[in-house]
Amino acid sequence: MNIEYPSGNGFAAGLSGLDPEPYVTADKRVAAAGLPGRTKSAPGSWRYPVERRRVLRVWLALSISVSAHAAFFFGFNGPKVVKVAVVEKETVEVGFVAPPVPEELVNEEVVDMSGETGEALEGVDVPSLPDLPTTVNLGDFTQTFDMTSLLPRADVKGANNLSTIPGNFRRGGSGGTATSMGNIFSLSDLDRAPSPTFQPAPSVPAHLLRDAPTVRVTVEFIVSVKGTVSEARVLSSDNEAFNDIAVVAIMKWKFRPGYRRGKTVNVRMIQPMRFTAAGNADESR
């Protein structure tokens, strides 16, 4: 098969009707448009031509991108502002509606009794509380208690008939009296007499002094070598009701024991007591 190709002139002639200058180069078109031409490369250089405006655009875009990222990272990383939610309190209004008045009360007739002069109807007795006293006496809440029933009763038979200490005791040594406690000496036989260290006053009920404001009781007792009191008995008394009170009071006394020849000894003593209306007892030697 034989293929014939058209010659160059014929191909060019066929295109002549469309473009009078079909082979116009790019440089000619740029020059015709008034645009700056490309920089020609040196002979033997394979680099492509570079446009200066394109480099400026790249740097401008890069600077805009860096600025945008910097503004994003450093402008939006500040402290977050927390908004406090305000809770609105609801106000509840409560309205009170009066109940309707029954018709029976509305239509009830009011009777005027002021003009009547008739006798008043007899009332009904209503129970009431008893009248309360306006003043309270503190003595109504106290109860008199007889303390003499709790006191030990001493053997004071024949005590009212004794006015002096009997001297017919069996002598147990020089200047002493022999008993179950040992030798008992009188005050005249001692080098140093006993001295009281504890003397509580007797408590006398007030009702005992109403009839006798002043009472005198004489008690005899023994002070041991330890300073305690024993064998207390009444020698004389103006009122027998005070005998137990005087004996119990003296039994609670404490003494510094008496001395004879450098030793503690038992001593017999006599103590008169006078009770006055104040309730206290006065002791005297």
Contact 172, 185 (CB under 8 A): no
pLDDT tens-digit series, residues 192-219: 889 899 988 888 877 777 777 788 899 9
CB contact burial 248-281 (16+ within 10 A = b; e otherwise):
bbbbebebebbbbeeebbbbbbebebebeeeeeb
pLDDT tens-digit series, residues 27-72: 666 566 665 555 555 555 555 555 567 788 888 889 898 888 888 7
pLDDT tens-digit series, residues 128-172: 666 655 665 655 555 555 555 555 555 544 444 444 444 333 333
The reported pLDDT for the residue numbered 274 is: 86
- Report the length, in residues, of the chain: 285
Tell me, letter by letter, the H, E, C secondary structure of the chain: CCCCCCCHHHHHHHHCCCCCCCCCCHHHHHHHHCCCCCCCCCCCCCCCCCCHHHHHHHHHHHHHHHHHHHHHHHHCCCCCCCCCCCCCCCCCCCCCCCCCCCHHHHCCCCCCCCCCCCCCCCCCCCCCCCCCCCCCCHHHHCCCCCHHHHCCCCCCCCHHHCCCCCCCCCECCCCEEEECCEEEECHHHCCECCEEEECCCCCCCHHHHCCCCCEEEEEEEEECCCCCEEEEEEEEECCHHHHHHHHHHHHCCEEECEEECCEEEEEEEEEEEEECCCCCEEECC
Q: Which domains does the chain have, with CATH numbers?
A: 154-283 (3.30.2420.10)
The reported pLDDT for the residue numbered 233 is: 92
The reported pLDDT for the residue numbered 160 is: 46
The reported pLDDT for the residue numbered 42 is: 55
What is the average per-residue pLDDT within 258-263?
A: 90
Contact 222, 266 (CB under 8 A): yes
**189 pLDDT higher than 90:** no
Q: Is the pTM of this model over 0.75?
A: no
Instruction: Pick the range with the lowest mean pLDDT from 142-151, 228-237, 250-259.
Output: 142-151
Half-sphere exposure of 278 (CA within 13 A, CB side): 5
Closest CA to 247 of 153, 170, 165: 153
Instruction: Give the residue with greater pLDDT, 201 vs 2.
Output: 201
Q: How far apart are CA 121 and CA 34, in angstroms?
A: 138
The reported pLDDT for the residue numbered 280 is: 47
The reported pLDDT for the residue numbered 273 is: 87
